[in-house]
């Protein structure tokens, strides 16, 4: 008798009508064969799928150029389809599940004619982890197959894990016609199902990533008592004592999460190890502490700005090419060396470049070489700072959670919440200036609670309450911190150097976790006494430092108004406790 997986695949094949059905085994050899197909006849856009790059410079690397209209997540075309609209909440686009399925089924009908349907069995999380989840993705894109091979633990073991239970997360994907008018990313949280058509871009097409590991998984976590979050996981080791403190860090897309996850500490005596750069699944352990695993197995990071200066460990990761291929998507190409190039990789652009669409680049025309949201896809095994706990099935115990955003003003460099629920209040009201990771206008402040606004698969009013409920189950609470590396002066220049210097702030947080330094109480939370920050070797004036920690009443009055308007959308369902914190804030900032 056919298994549940086979039956589901047959149904999807009957709908999409491919020429062939191919089951991905998840081996190195197989990927080489698929890449070879992608370098010749396979086309998913105006270009061949893969172009081989110089393996002396970036080992085992390939360039992919996407369709020019398909370069970022499309939040306006992303839907959460719950039976009741209120369960999706004002934070999601909603469609009735039956109607949504009917609509996309018309688009899926026959969409794989002349193509191969690839079946990818994959795990999110290590197969031995009790927190891991088995999934099946169907796709007609070789680029997606290779990307999933890098980003997840793909292969036959998943089928064993599913076994006769038939419990698995289903993802149906087709690039369709790559037509933005026929592009939909549909989530069915009640059925552990994602249907995505019309895009080949990362977050729209690698369904294990934002679609499952955040939108669907956040709802699973709500039901099952855990959290799926948009967070880095990192360990900071004090080399003198050997003690490791584990941090989680949430930032909106393209705010430097990947750089933070593999930061090279500017202070001597510390080492940072990396567990994840984008997604954390967080459970309450038997000892009443929080434990985090990274469900992914690779990094899908923004290329522009990545360099030996900003993130030497990532450059090393990209050069290594061990076991897994490395993909570059929509970067430029140095035609003299056949290596990828992007803004910031070197100070001076090489003389002969093709831009991200493969056109000859002319410096005088003032256009970008790499698309601002161009990406690399690389296996975590190549990361020199990868934590030895990376495959630990139970995850790592968390001592501190960091939230951040991109704010030119208003928000101080670092601030610690009074306690867990106050941290939930501050995280629920987080704002950030938009970036190019999602289609739409960049540089506008939007509320992005927990950096999860585009990724929470259910009503955020319930999500905030769930965060407080998880807090109630903890015996030991991690400290919660808020950072803003992006404050600017009147001339628009960043006040804080960022990058490696961010470690100075991490060091202060470690001291707070250990309880070795006091802090000043302010209306926003606890802030450092300046003398407790290790600023050795940093040229920063006391005035600049004051500005970095300044709390301006008029800024915070505006902020409170904004938060109130944001909270207002949730109506009756909104937790009263958070409104009380907002009232306190309003009283205390004047
Ligand atoms: O496109 S992804 O969602 O995978 C990357 C991002 O926006 O963070
Ligand atoms: Mn992300």
**pLDDT per residue as tens, the chain (590 positions):** 679 999 999 999 999 999 999 999 999 999 999 999 999 966 655 678 999 999 999 999 999 999 999 999 999 999 999 999 999 999 999 999 999 999 999 999 999 999 999 999 999 999 999 999 999 999 999 999 999 999 999 998 999 999 888 899 999 999 999 999 999 999 999 999 999 999 999 999 999 999 999 999 999 999 999 999 999 999 999 999 999 999 999 998 878 899 999 999 999 999 999 999 999 999 999 999 999 999 999 999 999 999 999 999 999 999 999 999 999 999 999 999 999 999 999 999 999 999 999 999 999 999 999 999 999 999 999 999 999 999 999 999 999 999 999 999 999 999 999 999 999 999 999 999 988 777 777 778 999 999 999 999 999 999 999 999 999 999 999 999 999 999 999 999 999 999 999 999 999 999 999 999 999 999 999 999 999 999 999 999 999 999 999 999 999 999 999 999 999 999 999 999 999 999 999 999 98
Instruction: With respect to residue 562, please indicate whether it lies within any of the assigned structural domains.
Output: no
- What's the CA gap between 427 and 449, in Å, rounded? 6
Nearest to 413, CA basis, from 537, 248, 557, 528: 528
Do 455 and 465 lie in one domain? The reply is yes
Question: Is 181 exposed, middle or buried (CB count within 10 Å of its CB: 0-12, 13-18, 19+)?
Answer: exposed
Q: Which ligand is nearest to the CA of 232?
A: 2
Give yes or no for a contact between 558 and 529, defined as CB atoms under 8 angstroms apart. no
**CA-CA-CA-CA torsion for 467, 472, 473, 477, nearest 10 degrees?**
80
**For a substitution probing ligand 1, which of 143, 206, 209, 212 has the most ligand atoms within 8 Å of its CB?**
209
Instruction: With respect to residue 582, please indicate whether it lies within any of the assigned structural domains.
Output: no
Q: Ligand 1, atom 6: nearest CA belongs to which residue? A: 253
| Closest atom, ligand 1, to C-alpha of 437 | 7
Q: Which ligand is nearest to the CA of 451?
A: 2
Instruction: With respect to residue 574, please indicate whether it lies within any of the assigned structural domains.
Output: no
Do 33 and 139 lie in one domain? The reply is yes
Give yes or no for a contact between 86 and 462, defined as CB atoms under 8 angstroms apart. no
- Residue at token pair 């965060």: 467
Q: Ligand 1, atom 2: nearest CA belongs to which residue? A: 203
| Closest atom, ligand 1, to C-alpha of 254 | 8
Q: Ligand 1, atom 8: nearest CA belongs to which residue? A: 253
Phi, psi dihedral angles at 559 (to 5 degrees):
-60, -45
Do 314 and 290 lie in one domain? The reply is no
Q: Ligand 1, atom 5: nearest CA belongs to which residue? A: 203
How far, in Å, from the CA of 210 to the mean position of ligand 1?
A: 7
Residues in the chain: 590
DSSP 476: S
pLDDT of the residue at 46: 63
Do 119 and 217 lie in one domain? The reply is yes
At which of 356, 382, 408 does a domain end? 382
**For 300-373, where are the alpha helices, taking DSSP H only?**
312-320
The CATH number linked to 190 is 3.40.449.10
Report CA-CA distances (Å) from 310 to 146, 303, 305, 459.
27, 11, 7, 37
| Closest atom, ligand 1, to C-alpha of 253 | 8
Do 325 and 451 lie in one domain? The reply is no
> Would you state the structure tokens that stand for residue 483, as one six-digit string?
């950072």
CA 460 from centroid of its chain's CA atoms:
18
Domain residues for 421? 228-297+389-552
Phi, psi dihedral angles at 521 (to 5 degrees):
-85, 130
Q: What is the spatial order of strands in the sheet that 326-329 belongs to?
A: 51-52, 61-64, 326-329, 375-379, 298-302
Residue 21 parent element (H or E): strand 20-23
At which of 366, 382, 398 does a domain end? 382
Paired with 64 in beta bridges are 329
Give yes or no for a contact between 192 and 168, defined as CB atoms under 8 angstroms apart. yes
**CA-CA-CA-CA torsion for 391, 288, 427, 486, nearest 10 degrees?**
-50
Give yes or no for a contact between 184 and 104, defined as CB atoms under 8 angstroms apart. yes
Phi, psi dihedral angles at 231 (to 5 degrees):
-140, 145
Give yes or no for a contact between 4 and 166, defined as CB atoms under 8 angstroms apart. yes
Residue of 211, 255, 383, 456 marked catalytic: 255
pLDDT of the residue at 43: 60
Do 400 and 285 lie in one domain? The reply is yes
- What's the CA gap between 319 and 57, in Å, rounded? 6
Do 221 and 288 lie in one domain? The reply is no
- What's the CA gap between 148 and 153, in Å, rounded? 8
> Would you state the structure tokens that stand for residue 506, as one six-digit string?
């991490």
Q: Say which residues have a Cβ less than 8 Å from residue 83's Cβ, sequence separation at least 6.
A: 96, 97, 190
Nearest to 304, CA basis, from 202, 357, 372: 372
- What's the CA gap between 34 and 47, in Å, rounded? 16
Do 290 and 165 lie in one domain? The reply is no
Provide the residues around ligand 2 (an ion) whose CB is within 5 A.
Answer: 253, 278
The CATH number linked to 355 is 2.170.8.10
Do 503 and 517 lie in one domain? The reply is yes
Pocket, ligand 1, Cβ cutoff 6 A: 73, 202-203, 209-210, 253, 300, 437
At which of 175, 195, 225 does a domain end? 225
Give yes or no for a contact between 189 and 82, defined as CB atoms under 8 angstroms apart. yes
DSSP 312: H
How far, in Å, from the CA of 588 to the mean position of ligand 2?
A: 34
Do 241 and 198 lie in one domain? The reply is no
How far, in Å, from the CA of 249 to the mean position of ligand 2?
A: 11
Instruction: With respect to residue 557, please indicate whether it lies within any of the assigned structural domains.
Output: no
Q: How many domains does the chain have?
A: 3
Instruction: With respect to residue 53, please indicate whether it lies within any of the assigned structural domains.
Output: no
- What's the CA gap between 227 and 235, in Å, rounded? 19
pLDDT of the residue at 42: 61
Pairing mode, strands 479-483 and 20-23: unpaired
- Residue at token pair 């499952």: 212
Pairing mode, strands 231-238 and 270-276: antiparallel
Give yes or no for a contact between 175 and 198, defined as CB atoms under 8 angstroms apart. yes
Instruction: With respect to residue 563, please indicate whether it lies within any of the assigned structural domains.
Output: no
- What's the CA gap between 431 and 559, in Å, rounded? 9
- What's the CA gap between 563 and 428, in Å, rounded? 9
Instruction: With respect to residue 182, please indicate whether it lies within any of the assigned structural domains.
Output: yes
Q: Ligand 1, atom 4: nearest CA belongs to which residue? A: 203
How far, in Å, from the CA of 455 to the mean position of ligand 2?
A: 9
Instruction: With respect to residue 569, please indicate whether it lies within any of the assigned structural domains.
Output: no
R_g of the chain computed on alpha carbons = 23
How far, in Å, from the CA of 282 to the mean position of ligand 2?
A: 16
Do 264 and 332 lie in one domain? The reply is no
**For a substitution probing ligand 1, which of 72, 73, 211 has the most ligand atoms within 8 Å of its CB?**
73
Within a 10 A sphere around the Cβ of 103, how many other Cβ atoms? Answer: 14
How far, in Å, from the CA of 278 to the mean position of ligand 2?
A: 5
Do 283 and 408 lie in one domain? The reply is yes
How far, in Å, from the CA of 73 to the mean position of ligand 1?
A: 7
CA 516 from centroid of its chain's CA atoms:
33
**For a substitution probing ligand 1, which of 71, 203, 261, 280 has the most ligand atoms within 8 Å of its CB?**
203
Q: Which ligand is nearest to the CA of 209?
A: 1
**For a substitution probing ligand 1, which of 437, 451, 455, 457 has the most ligand atoms within 8 Å of its CB?**
437
**For 166-241, where are the alpha helices, taking DSSP H only?**
202-205, 217-224
Give yes or no for a contact between 415 and 430, defined as CB atoms under 8 angstroms apart. no
Q: Is 81 a catalytic residue?
A: no
Reported pTM = 0.97
């Amino acid at each position: 008798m056919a298994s549940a997986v086979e039956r589901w695949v047959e149904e999807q094949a009957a709908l999409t009508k491919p020429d062939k059905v191919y089951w991905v085994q998840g081996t190195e050899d197989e990927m080489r064969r698929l890449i070879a197909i992608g370098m010749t006849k396979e086309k998913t856009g105006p270009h061949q799928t893969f172009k081989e790059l110089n393996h002396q410079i970036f080992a085992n690397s390939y360039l992919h150029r996407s369709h020019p209209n398909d370069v970022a997540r499309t939040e306006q075309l992303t839907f959460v389809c719950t039976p009741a609209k209120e369960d999706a909440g004002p934070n999601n686009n909603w469609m009735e599940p039956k109607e949504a399925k009917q609509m996309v089924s018309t688009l899926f009908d026959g969409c794989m004619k002349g193509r191969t349907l690839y079946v990818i069995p994959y795990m999110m999380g290590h197969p031995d982890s009790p927190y891991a989840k088995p999934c099946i993705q169907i796709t007609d894109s070789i680029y997606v197959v290779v990307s999933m091979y890098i980003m997840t633990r793909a292969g036959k073991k998943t089928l064993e894990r599913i076994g006769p239970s038939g419990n698995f997360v289903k993802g149906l994907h087709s690039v369709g016609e790559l037509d933005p008018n026929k592009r939909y990313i549909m989530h069915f949280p009640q059925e552990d199902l994602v249907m995505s058509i019309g895009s080949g871009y990362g977050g729209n097409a690698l369904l294990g990533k934002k679609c499952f590991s955040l939108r669907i998984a956040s709802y699973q976590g709500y039901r099952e008592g855990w959290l799926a979050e948009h967070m880095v996981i990192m360990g900071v080791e004090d080399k003198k004592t050997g003690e490791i403190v584990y941090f989680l860090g949430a930032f909106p897309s393209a705010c430097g999460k990947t750089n933070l996850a593999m930061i090279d500490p500017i202070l001597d005596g510390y080492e940072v190890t990396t567990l994840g750069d984008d997604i954390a699944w967080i459970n309450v352990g038997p000892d009443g502490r929080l434990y985090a695993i990274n469900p992914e197995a690779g990094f899908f990071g923004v290329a522009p700005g990545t360099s030996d200066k900003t993130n030497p460990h990532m450059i090393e990761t990209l050069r290594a090419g061990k076991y897994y291929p490395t993909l570059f998507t929509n970067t430029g190409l140095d035609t003299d060396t056949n290596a990828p190039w992007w803004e910031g990789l070197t100070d001076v652009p090489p003389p002969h470049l093709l831009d991200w669409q493969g056109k000859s680049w002319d410096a005088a025309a003032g256009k970008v070489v790499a698309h601002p949201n161009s990406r690399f896809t690389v296996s975590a095994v190549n990361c020199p700072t990868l934590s030895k706990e990376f495959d630990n099935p139970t995850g790592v115990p968390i001592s501190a959670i960091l939230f951040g955003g991109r704010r030119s003003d208003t928000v101080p460099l670092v601030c610690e919440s009074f306690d867990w629920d106050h941290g939930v209040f501050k995280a629920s009201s987080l704002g950030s200036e938009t970036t190019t990771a999602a289609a739409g206008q960049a540089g506008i402040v939007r509320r992005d609670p927990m950096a999860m606004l585009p990724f929470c698969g259910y009503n955020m009013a319930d999500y905030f309450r769930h965060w407080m409920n998880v807090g109630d189950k903890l015996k030991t609470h991690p400290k919660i911190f808020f950072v803003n590396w992006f404050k600017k002066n009147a001339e628009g220049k960043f006040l804080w150097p960022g990058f490696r210097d961010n470690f100075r702030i991490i060091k202060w947080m470690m001291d707070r976790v250990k309880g070795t330094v006091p802090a000043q109480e302010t209306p926003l939370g606890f802030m450092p006494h300046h003398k407790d920050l290790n600023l050795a070797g940093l040229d920063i004036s006391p005035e600049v430092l004051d500005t970095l920690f300044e709390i301006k009443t008029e800024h915070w009055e505006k902020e409170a108004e904004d938060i109130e308007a944001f909270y207002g959308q949730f109506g009756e369902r909104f937790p009263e406790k958070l409104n009380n914190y907002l009232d306190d804030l309003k009283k205390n900032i004047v």
